[in-house]
Amino acid sequence: MIDDAYLWLESLDEPEAARWVAERNAETLRAMADEDFAATRDAIREVLDSSDRIPFPGWRGDGFYYSFWQDGDHPRGLWRRTTPEQYRLAEPEWDVLVDVDALNEAEGENWTWSDVTVLRPGHDRCLISLSRGGADASVVREFDLVRRVFVTDGFTLPEAKSHVAWADADHVFVGTDFGPGSLTASGYPRIVKRWRRGTPLTEAETVFEGDPADILVRGYRDATEGYQREFVVRLPTFFTREYHVRVPGGDLERIDIPEDADCDVHREWMLVRIRSSWTVGGVTHPAGSLLVTPFGRREFTVLFRPDRRTSLNSWSWTRNHLLLVTMTDVRTEAFVLTPGEPEWTREPLPSSGEFAQTWIVETDPDRDDAYLIASEGFLRPTTLSLGTVGGPVEVLKRQPEFFDPAGLEVRQFFAVSADGTRVPYFVAGGEKPGPALLSGYGGFEIALTPGYDAVIGRGWLARGGAYAVANIRGGGEYGPDWHRAALRENRLRAYEDFAAVAADMVARGITTPEQLGIKGGSNGGLLMGVMLTRYPELFGAVVASVPLLDMRRYTRLLAGTSWIAEYGDPDVESDWEFLREYSPYQNVRPGRPYPPVLFSTSTRDDRVHPGHARKMAALMRDQGYEVAYYENVEGGHAGAADNDQAALVRALMLEFLWRRLAG
């Protein structure tokens, strides 16, 4: 039995817990309610609602540009499409397919848009996922793209953390809550079934069953003409996978690749991206390499090999080519690779320039070799372009400046961590020292790259503050080894890295400890909690959003079990020995120089339980520390379900920090 005086705050339904949340919310809003806060909130809302934002499109294989759009008139959003010719215009004519606000009014619901899967190759039906209040759990409903209506007797699933994919027009692969024993300990599907139209879900054919300790399993079909194949993927842990291909007769054959590798099949090719070194065909390939072979054979060709400074960021297929985005010291470059004999050829794509990022927005590998490519930087608004491999690149959209960058610059520095590792970080701002905001994440092999955040621009940079992003270990900035360096018992390295960046900013005269604020969300919220309790003297204020904080109980809350491979298992004594060193909730002590802190979360977050933030806030308040707390009812793990809620939450964060750091 765990002794926890604040365990009652984990309850989402108890009146006492709800009353505590309402009282804390009211306190925080009262403390912020003035003209400065209103101006910041309105400036953020203007950005979020702006019609000048780029409506990033998705291609569904039928020649249309699809987009999901939210603004002041459509807070829950529109799913819509237009033609390529219309999209080039400053104000395209959009064909609205689903108006979520109108749907909510008609059904008396609070749906938020979650996902959509369009049938290939017909493109006349789709499966739409809608969640209540932004939660991960969603309902699935079949939609007729020709008649613009939900199909009355179509494929539908009740609210659950489901995965559904088309097999053909009359069958879907489905993993959902089929009843007791059908979910993993993490709350995701354990069983994949093939469900035939017009039959009860209870009669669906079982294709594969995973173990209760798995993260999840899912099934899908590659509908590429001439290369139709069905696959099942099992995730025993967050970073391991088993890929199975369904052979005639329905049996599954496992693809022979390392369990921690990613696999991607396109037409006759199979890509393998490895997370640890792998010897195959007498050759040893380092972690982070990307290999290709004809599907069903083991004749691997190296398409990307990392080095000490360069890693693979992403890849995308066109019909006949492979597009790669790589990073060298967190600076991106894009390339096009073309199959050939005796080897694949490689050519550069347009570069984003220094201290910016490039990414592939979309391709349509069923149709052609066109691609959408975007670039942006801390001070450079996004540009979206359309290119064709071997052809010209045409600018389609340019986002306007939402704040004045005059007098601001972007610089990259390297801090030296406790063990001597060089840790990169970016700083955007002016030359004069003053208030600074440092953000970080450091987990799950996720890389933080330079990006144009108009909210930070208006609410922080335009007021004279500096904004910094730390590329600490645990992330993916330098590939799998950079991530692995801060896993489990090595987690403290990520926190030492972040502390080193903070100290380096002060040493360079960018700011002072009293004027340095930090922010992070989710795993980044855990980072904030550790900085608060372990390095309080380095910071003037802290914001932790939708955070993990109680590492003693995290596996017992919602999806927590799925992250054991990242953090360790607190129910294993040897793991708890290193977890207890930094777990923020267990390391709060009286009489420490903790800076002011704001915790924000969402009642509808069904990924990271709001109890983490609630309990930490209550504990620190009772010990007399300055703690602000805000819990949005909706929003799920994103923390907000529409632009109005997002503007409020982000204004709270920026105003809380500015008032404490700028005086």
Q: Is 67 a catalytic residue?
A: no
Give Cβ neighbours of residue 595 (< 8 Å, ≥ 6 apart): 532, 536, 539, 540, 541, 542, 660
Contact between 288 and 298 (Cβ < 8 Å): no
Please state whether beta strands 283-285 and 191-196 pair in parallel, antiparallel, or not at all (unpaired): unpaired
Of 298, 280, 265, 496, the closest CA to residue 289 belongs to 280
The arrangement of strands across the sheet holding 383-388 comes to: 356-363, 370-377, 383-388, 393-398
| Beta partners for residue 599, in sequence order | 544, 629
Question: What would the two tokens of residue 369 be?
Answer: 């070799």
Structure tokens at 202: 């209870």
Structure tokens at 442: 């450091």
Token digits for 115? 């996902």
Give the span between the Cα atoms of 385 and 376, in whole angstroms: 12
- Distance CA(275)–CA(284), nearest Å, equals 13
Task: Find the catalytic residue in 522, 545, 562, 600.
Answer: 522
CB atoms within 10 A of CB 401: 14
Three-class SS state of 516: strand
- The C-alpha torsion from 199 through 202 and 203 to 209, rounded to 10°, is 130
Contacts (Cβ under 8 Å, ≥6 apart) of 493:
417, 418, 419, 421, 473, 474, 485, 486
The tokens 């990242």 sit on which residue? 566
Active site residue 637: yes
Structure tokens at 182: 């059908």
- Catalytic, out of 163, 244, 321, 637: 637
Q: Which residues contact 408 (CB under 8 A, 6 or more apart)?
A: 379, 428, 429, 430, 461
Please, what's the b/e burial string for 250-273 (b: 16 or more CB within 10 A of its CB; e: otherwise)?
Answer: eebeebebbebbbbbbbbebbbbb
From CA 626, how far away is CA 653, in angstroms rounded? 15
Hey, how many other C-beta atoms are within 10 angstroms of the C-beta on 475? 24
- For residue 402, the cross-strand partners are none
Q: What's the alpha-carbon Rg for the chain, to the nearest Å?
A: 25
**Exposure string for 484-510, b = 16+ CB within 10 A, e = fewer:** bbbbeeebbbbbbbbbbbbbbbbeeeb
Give the type of residue at 488.
R
- Whether residue 121 has a cis bond before it, omega within 30° of 0: yes
Please tell me the number of Cα atoms within 13 Å of 635 on its side-chain side: 26
* Chain position carrying tokens 């959902």: 176
Q: Are 256 and 243 in contact (CB under 8 A)?
A: no
- The residues that are catalytic are 522, 637
